[in-house]
Structure 1
Amino acid sequence: MPGQWYNFLPDLPGPVPEVRDSGSPSAAEIAEKVRPRILIEQNGTDQKWIPIPEPVMERLRQCGRPTPLHRARRLEQHLGTRARIYLKREDVLPTGSFKLNTAIAQAHYAAEEGRTTLVTETGAGQWGMSVALAAKMFGLRAEIFMVRCSLEQKPYRRHYMELLGAEVEPSPSLRTAIGRKILQDTPGHPGSLGTAISDAIEHALGLPGAAYLAGSGMPHVYLHQTLLGLEVTAQLAEHGEELGVEGRGDHLIACSGGGSNLCGLVGPHLRARADGADLRFLAAESTAAPRLTQGVYAYGRTDLGGFTPEVLGYTMGEDFIPPPNHVGGLRNHHSSALVSLLRHEGVLDAVAFDQRTALEAGRLLLQTEGLLLAPEASHAVAAAVEVAAKARTERREPVIVVLASGAGFLDLQGYHEVLGDTREAQVDT
């Protein structure tokens, strides 16, 4: 397991565009109140390697880091490809998702600063589960605003958080002014990450001792998630693999919502690509919020309440309401500035899948490898299937690394509702 996080900001193809922050109070002033100071400092650090505090290391090891890198040989055989497909198994962590990597770090810093309550938002619930567990590890309370449609679709994630003592509130929420306004303007609003972020920040501002934690979109989150890419490099070496061999077309693939799992996987490899490695990065998003594939590159906010600054990114517009499907982690209207920069500069490719195609890929992985992934991660599997098919046509043998970012056992109802009775849809394994 790496003992340091890797700061890949100097490896970006250019500077992240300046934010627009003209509110009163400004987003920067709001962040000073609700975010632990060291996290703000990590957003702009020029230090290349950041030592991981020992209490964080201890809990990460306790939770199962480093996570396995799994060669998907039966999937390769089924696809008839000579590509070598590897799955980075974040689904094996106690909360079933990669989100725990930064939740533990942020909770540690909040506790060090004397904060007593962690406040955050969550889409599909994986981030909320991770914050709830991390809060308990460090003796803190947790209050979590969960996107309303996801809370209704995935009640067991709420039950998990509540078992850990967390308070879980649907978003838009009647507890906040912005939530009440959204519900007044749009009765029955299904919620989105934009509404939940607004609810959480407003609530944290009014709660003494609160620390607002972000699960994605911020450089400090991407920094903590570089464990993913660093571990992949070391594990591939154990398999005798080296990424970026000329003419092979190697791929790193992850789903993209706020971009934290994507950036954690590809960030440590940006320098190699810039130095000429034949390495491609692919973001798999949902057609429910196809920002990177259909959005416009413009300034906008990730929340609806104006608590965050305007950032330059691929956006569907602040009035966009994503449909209430089963991919809660991918349902946001605006992409982060960093992910958008990679896309705009041609470093990152993107593809969008509807939820049926994604979940069919998830079913295929279960039937071949015995692994059930969350709907979000199944988008990355669908992308890998396409890359492998193209490689077969082109007679190439790439290494394809897929980030299995989350487990799917608490998403079985969604699989059933979308795919129905699938007993006849068997594959030869």
Structure 2
Amino acid sequence: MVNIQEVNKYLYKYREEILPKYWYNIIPDLPKPLPPPMDPKDTNSRIELLQRILPKEVIKQQFTIDRFVKIPDEILEKYVVVGRPTPLFRAIGLEKFLDTPARIYFKYEGALPTGSHKVNTAIAQVYYAYSENVEGVTTETGAGQWGSAVALASSLYRLKSIVFMVKTSYDHKPARRSLIEFYGAEVVPSPSKITRFGRSLLENNPDHPGSLGIAISEAIEYALEHGYRYVMGSVIDVVLLHQTIIGLEAMRQMELIGEEPDIIVACVGGGSNFAGLAYPFIGLRNKGKRFIAVGSAEVPKFSKGEYRYDYPDTAGLLPLLKMITLGKDFVPPPIYSGGLRYHGLAPSLSLLIRERVVEAIEYREVEVYKAARIFAETQGIVPAPESAHAVKAVIDIALEARKRNEKITILFNLSGHGLLDIDNYKSMMIRYGRF
């Protein structure tokens, strides 16, 4: 068997040759046709609105049925600049701690400059906006990973960017906010006073904690009024398309070490990092595999959400999407994992869960905290709280493999590092202590 460190050296040396040249689109390989976006009855067309605020190429890719979409050379160049391909590691320390026969591998997207996978689609969407000669872009962010990714991508293309950050995260994640600002973006707490929708919410509740749905609505309103393009970090399927570079790289890396995963795991907020790792395997190499999506029990989409048409944003500016949802007006608690607070789930992933291609589980904060501590103490990496949900699932799977003496191979997406989440972890340390 080839040494994995040697594989990663090889990947770095020949990164431009190994980097995937196409994104993978799962839409033609879904078990059922994907229900299309819909305009609400007796209203102006939301789909026409999308055409006004999204870059034209993003709209085209959102509705393509092509299985593979070519990545422009200009985007590949920037992928190399920020550090793609990302490394694949074996979690030997964790395996020894758990005394499991399972082999555990993780794709480490936290190695990217902003500490998460989000920059993969940020570079693509901002590039397409840049190609249209606009002045700037707008977006929303929860935990801050997406906001920092857009700020970085915008700086690479010398575009202005304004980021509407969920108020709870704005207050409790000053390091994330500072990183976004350091890259040159303007950060606004959402709900804000600079949009009509934000002002209407603050009039009724001056202490409104905000939500991703609200921040999306504000970013869209601002884009419409200022001629900016709007870029979205998850949920819509074009975003999931861009993220498949993760899984395509992982396929090649696993091939080089002579391994094939039996179980693939990732956390889920809107669905982009799970899809990024899992979709190429689901669509191109599915036989005999299990796919496990992990969510937050404090935002119980999997256990209490409904599969129906709903708005992606709270103001109802975007078209209705058929998805698993807690409802656009759901206001999540100010939990530790800001990236998992979204009320809905990407339509394609919702369909795959409904069709039982993908399993879905949820964990509580205390369980995730313990898993994060175990991983940090055995592997040295502090996982983002979102990614720690995947770590918890992997630990449970590996312990079950120990009971059954199963020599399985687990692959999971460590989609972000937690070095800018230490204050959140500190509050959990105070609440739960050691274990």
Match of residue 144 from structure 2: 125
Task: Determine if the alignment matches structure 1 residue 392 to structure 2 residue 413.
Answer: no
Task: Determine if the alignment matches structure 1 residue 270 to structure 2 residue 288.
Answer: no
Task: Determine if the alignment matches structure 1 residue 190 to structure 2 residue 209.
Answer: yes
In 2, Cα distance between equivalents of 1:269 and 1:354: 28
CA contact (8 A) 1:12 1:270 kept: no
Indicate which of 336, 346, 366 corresponds to 1:336: 346
Match of residue 44 from structure 1: 63
Task: Note the 1:1-400 alignment, pairs <5 A.
Answer: 1-22=19-40, 24-208=43-227, 210-243=228-261, 250-272=262-284, 277-400=287-410
Aligned residues: 416
- Aligned-pair CA distance for 1:46: 2.4
Q: Deviations over 1:367-417 (max 9, x none)?
A: 000011110010110111111112222221211111010110110000010
TM-score by length of 1: 0.94
CA contact (8 A) 2:336 2:365 kept: yes
- Aligned-pair CA distance for 1:421: 8.5
In 2, Cα distance between equivalents of 1:10 and 1:367: 42
CA contact (8 A) 2:87 2:108 kept: yes
Which segments of 5 or more consecutive residues in structure 1 lack a partner in the other structure? Answer: 244-249
Structure 1 pair 336/423, CA: closer, same or farther in 2 (3 Å)?
closer
In 2, Cα distance between equivalents of 1:424 and 1:230: 38
CA contact (8 A) 1:64 1:93 kept: yes
Q: Show structure 1 runs of 4+ deviating over 4 A.
A: 421-425
Structure 1 pair 423/196, CA: closer, same or farther in 2 (3 Å)?
closer
- The one-letter code of the counterpart of 1:354 is R
- Aligned-pair CA distance for 1:186: 3.6
- Aligned-pair CA distance for 1:271: 2.8
In 2, Cα distance between equivalents of 1:336 and 1:182: 26
CA contact (8 A) 1:253 1:281 kept: yes
- The one-letter code of the counterpart of 1:120 is T
In 2, Cα distance between equivalents of 1:155 and 1:18: 39
- Aligned-pair CA distance for 1:214: 0.5
TM-score by length of 2: 0.93
In 2, Cα distance between equivalents of 1:207 and 1:198: 14
In 2, Cα distance between equivalents of 1:319 and 1:218: 19
CA contact (8 A) 1:362 1:375 kept: yes
Q: Deviations over 1:302-357 (max 9, x none)?
A: 21111112222212123321100111100011222111101101011111112221
**SS at structure 2 position matched to 1:206:** helix
In 2, Cα distance between equivalents of 1:341 and 1:411: 32
Q: Deviations over 1:240-270 (max 9, x none)?
A: 1023xxxxxx111111011011111111112
Q: Deviations over 1:285-313 (max 9, x none)?
A: 11121112221222211211111122222
Q: Deviations over 1:196-239 (max 9, x none)?
A: 1111111111012x000011111211111111110111111122
In 1, Cα distance between equivalents of 2:140 and 2:283: 33
- The one-letter code of the counterpart of 1:57 is L
CA contact (8 A) 1:356 1:419 kept: no
- The one-letter code of the counterpart of 1:128 is G
Which segments of 5 or more consecutive residues in structure 2 lack a partner in the other structure? Answer: 1-18
- The one-letter code of the counterpart of 1:254 is A
- The one-letter code of the counterpart of 1:357 is E
% identical equivalent positions: 43
- Aligned-pair CA distance for 1:424: 5.4
Aligned CA RMSD, in angstroms, stands at 1.5
CA contact (8 A) 1:355 1:375 kept: no
**SS at structure 2 position matched to 1:216:** coil
